[in-house]
A and B are shown apart, each in its own frame.
Chain A
């Protein structure tokens, strides 16, 4: 073993014949870090730097301004409605798919993933086709004075579409590997269906559920394309945070745009931190055997 090889710490499980020379390792690490630095780290830093460019006063003023507060409120409300609904759907879908064997399961799995492969803009467009003035229910909605497009319901339903698969995606694989023995035992001991879900299944998947909710929430609060199509951009009324950022940016109020953006970037960082914590818990729960 060369002395140089010992300096760059290689994982102990890899012996010398199956790893690269030290200079190759260093070069590859440098390339990877340069690529990630250029495309990930620098943009993230830039958000906060641009937000604080004109000082803390400008930063705070941009956030407590009434239109910004209205946008923050709307974003929170839309997420507060869409995330729990997708959460209930995720648990129901996972219960049916993971605990029962039925025809058409693979097709159902593909259909649940479908929103991931639809462009956000098209997701917005389809709800305009259904609920818009010239859409299927357009006349009926107008006659009954119900506003969906260019109002909160449209924003919520577009957000639900975009974040549709997140919770189900996290729960299904985990619940499939956990099998049904524990639920069957609970059943034999006389538990009702709701008792089984509440006392056996959900505790077993609680970290994966939390992770799904976190991802779902991050996407719900940050969704731009779909919401942009259905919101109508009415300032102070139907502007979510990402749309408010767009308006500020197009008005050349860069510091204010980045100030609001920094809140969402903070949320993204929080999401990443929570993800690490939850992943450790899931790993710990898995290695600690099923309780």
Chain B
């Protein structure tokens, strides 16, 4: 058929290319591409000043600052502790290692609303953890950070794991024979090898945190200008029937997400190149 001849690079004896690709493109367009384009097309019906006012109002800017700041801090903490967790899981043997390994995926599997109410209960003033802390966590920006750290936890570990597992002893032995201390070997040999994967995991955790809603809204307290995240602000605008305002903010976040996606694709290519694949 014409369709397949134009796209196929190589003839294949297998049937079903037209049907499979046709269905894939149709489904992708109906579910993802056309609805997403609605967000961009909607903002084109706004005048430029109206759009600019909607995305730069002080309350919106405060929400950007909180969302990006807390997401960055959460991804940073996850990068540091994710490296430690991954190192321990790959290199050491201890009782319960397999269970701990499986538990790392919990934030992927646990619905965000469940995580949200559990964290809020733990970190409230009379909660198991909150009652031991000298400062308030629930209903403050720190609470936002706690929820985003929970959500981003698996990304760094799962991105690093295959790279660390591939890292065999030879290079470390070579470093040791050449007189490097263990710390020097880590800093000069191991860290450079895992850096692309570490950055990828960081970026994935950061990207996920930017859009997170369910786990944050319970613990954040949602005070405008203080602990209100961008996704919540979009919902608030929708509930006030300010659809253009909500869409304008959504488009800003979508553009940020797409830029991050490009960066992540680049980082993944770098990871593969570093691993010589």
Contact = CB atoms under 8 A, between A and B. Distances in A.
A96 B121 CA distance: 47
Contact of B8 (A28, A100, A258): A100
Contacts of B88: 28-29, 32
B199 interface: no
Contacts of B119: 43
A153 interface: no
Interface string B83-110: 0110111011110001010111111111
Interface stretch (B53-61, B134-142, B230-238): B230-238
Interface residues of B, number: 94
B34 interface: yes
A215 B107 CA distance: 12
Greatest chain B CB density within 10 A among A113, A126, A228, A243 is at A126
Interface in A33-60: 33, 35-36, 38-44, 46-47, 50
Contact of A136 (B38, B100, B109, B115): B38
Contact of A126 (B23, B38, B87, B93): B38
Contacts of A254: 121
Contacts of A197: 16
Given A40-B153, A99-B14, A261 B114 contact: yes
B39 interface: yes
A228 B213 CA distance: 10
B213 A225 contact: yes
A218 interface: yes
A114 interface: yes
Contacts of A267: 109
A215 B122 CA distance: 27
B60 to A, nearest CB: 14
Nearest to A106: B265
Nearest to B186: A20
A128 B250 CA distance: 13
Contacts of B159: none
Contact of B31 (A38, A160, A258): A160
Interface in B222-277: 231-232, 234-235, 238, 243, 246-247, 250, 253-254, 257-258, 260-261, 265
Interface residues of A, number: 107
A122 interface: yes
A140 B7 CA distance: 37
A125 B250 contact: yes
B111 A101 contact: no
A19 B111 contact: no
B136 to A, nearest CB: 17
Interface in B111-142: 111-115, 117-119, 121-122, 128-129
A138 B214 CA distance: 28
B84 A35 contact: yes
A234 interface: no
A221 B111 contact: yes
A123 to B, nearest CB: 8
Interface stretch (A182-190, A202-210, A283-291): A182-190
B35 interface: yes
B12 A224 contact: no
Contacts of A192: 15
A234 B8 CA distance: 49
12 contacts: A28-B92, A29-B94, A40-B153, A101-B8, A119-B212, A119-B213, A119-B231, A134-B243, A135-B38, A184-B14, A187-B15, A271-B109
Interface of B: 4, 7-10, 12-17, 19-21, 23-25, 27-28, 31-36, 38-39, 42, 81, 84-85, 87-89, 91-94, 98, 100, 102-115, 117-119, 121-122, 128-129, 149-150, 153, 169, 172-173, 176-177, 182, 185, 207, 210-214, 218, 231-232, 234-235, 238, 243, 246-247, 250, 253-254, 257-258, 260-261, 265
